[in-house]
Amino acid sequence: MKFTELYDELKSIYGELGKWWPGAREEIIVSAVLTQNTNWQNVEKALVNIRKYCQGDILQCLGKLSEQELSELIRPAGFFNIKAKRLKNLLQWIETYGYDLDKISTLDTENLRKELLSINGIGKETADSIILYAFEKPIFVVDAYTKRIVRRIFDIEYKEYDESRKLFEETFTKDVKLYQEFHGLIVEHAKALCRTKPLCEQCPIADCLYKSQKSKSGE
């Protein structure tokens, strides 16, 4: 399979996913931090706590809390002390814009990314998730699932995050909806079939280098 065919192939398996990351942009920003090293069910539990506690703008509401109070609220997401610290740093940055997300959105992608990456605890995957899903700017999110699937199907291994990101951005049109859905399809495929221990015999992707090498070696 050609690299350019991956999106269509996954879409034919999983159908239209649309934006995929749920919630309004305020929740997406918060959940991009909460989802680090945990599953979505735990994120959702923390979001339920936040929704219960905050009436109105959740960013302004959370911004008023101490780190200790934040960590209590987001406890179900795990690693709550470190995540509270990261969230606090992110909220302080948003506060410098008067919690005005439209104002932040006027930054171009490169400067927005630069500012996000200068916040302590915000790495590339988190920054790019916020840029793509909350601010709807075209940047490709690379996570461990993306690297795994690209490595297995095409035998392409990039060590550097930005190398993998550019592989997508240089191959596919810079299109927010396509990038959002494509990343979602990759996550769905990695969870359903291309797991740590892949379920190749159930996988409809015929043209996969990992699968063909495995069948050659008789595994």
Contact residues for ligand SF4, defined by CB under 6 A? 152-153, 193-194, 198-200, 203, 205, 208, 210-211
The Cα 184–Cα 161 span in angstroms is 18
Q: How far is CA 179 from CA 10, 13, 137, 144, 165, in A?
A: 13, 17, 9, 16, 11
Of 30 and 205, the one with the shorter C-beta distance to ligand SF4 is 205
Q: Which amino acid is at 217?
A: S
Of 176 and 209, the one with the shorter C-beta distance to ligand SF4 is 209
CB of 11 to ligand SF4, least distance (A): 14
Of 94 and 205, the one with the shorter C-beta distance to ligand SF4 is 205
For the chain, the 3-state helix, strand and coil shares in percent, each to the nearest 5, are 65, 0, 35
CB of 13 to ligand SF4, least distance (A): 10
The dihedral sign for the CA sequence 73, 20, 145, 131: negative
Of 70 and 149, the one with the shorter C-beta distance to ligand SF4 is 149
Of 112 and 153, the one with the shorter C-beta distance to ligand SF4 is 153
CB of 38 to ligand SF4, least distance (A): 23
CA atoms lying within 13 Å on the CB side of residue 9: 16
CB of 194 to ligand SF4, least distance (A): 3
Nearest CA-CA partner of 142 in 166, 120, 113, 173 = 166
CB of 94 to ligand SF4, least distance (A): 38
User: How many beta carbons lie within 10 A of that of residue 58, not counting itself?
Assistant: 19
